[in-house]
Amino acid sequence: MANLKGGCLCGAVRYSVSAEPAMQAVCHCRNCQRQAGSGWSMIMGVPAAALAITGEVKTYQDHGESGGDVLRQFCPNCGSPLFSRVSAAPDLVFIKAGTLDDTSQFTPQMQFWTDSKQHWVDIAGVPGFPRQPGG
């Protein structure tokens, strides 16, 4: 699956990844819901060193439940959410999997923050954690 490619809605930002993802998950936290404008965020954690970005992104500094920084990066032209960088995992970048050119490359291994998931969401067969795994 290495050499993932994707980009924003308008095409101003493109990216590629030259390594296998470290994790694939669905996050149901309220901040991800707000950023995605949906019931959840589909994320793929990839090594930061393996991510190449063309185009400029804008960054919004958010904070997670733990108080740690969550840098949410998006296209300043079309507003597509693209990446999240979290202080708790500085070597990973979390790609918003809906921005992949081939979304069939995304298969969530887990879901977290299920204590705030929308009542109509049921992702059968994907293990869930009420909050952050290990937390």
Residue ranges per structural domain of the chain: 4-116
- Minimum mean pLDDT range among 14-28, 32-46, 75-89, 90-104: 32-46
Whether the per-residue pLDDT at 97 is higher than 90: the answer is yes
Residue 122, classified by CB atoms within 10 Å of its CB into exposed (0-12), middle (13-18) or buried (19+), is: exposed
Joined tokens for residue 86? 């979290």
Check whether 132 has a pLDDT greater than 90.
Answer: no
Give the H or E element holding residue 81. Answer: strand 81-86
Question: Which superfamily does 4-116 belong to?
Answer: glutathione-dependent formaldehyde- activating enzyme (gfa) (3.90.1590.10)
Angle, CA of 122, 64 and 23, to the nearest 5°: 55
pLDDT higher than threshold 70 for residue 64 = yes
Q: What's the whole-number mean pLDDT along residues 50-69?
A: 90
Whole-number pLDDT of residue 51 = 97
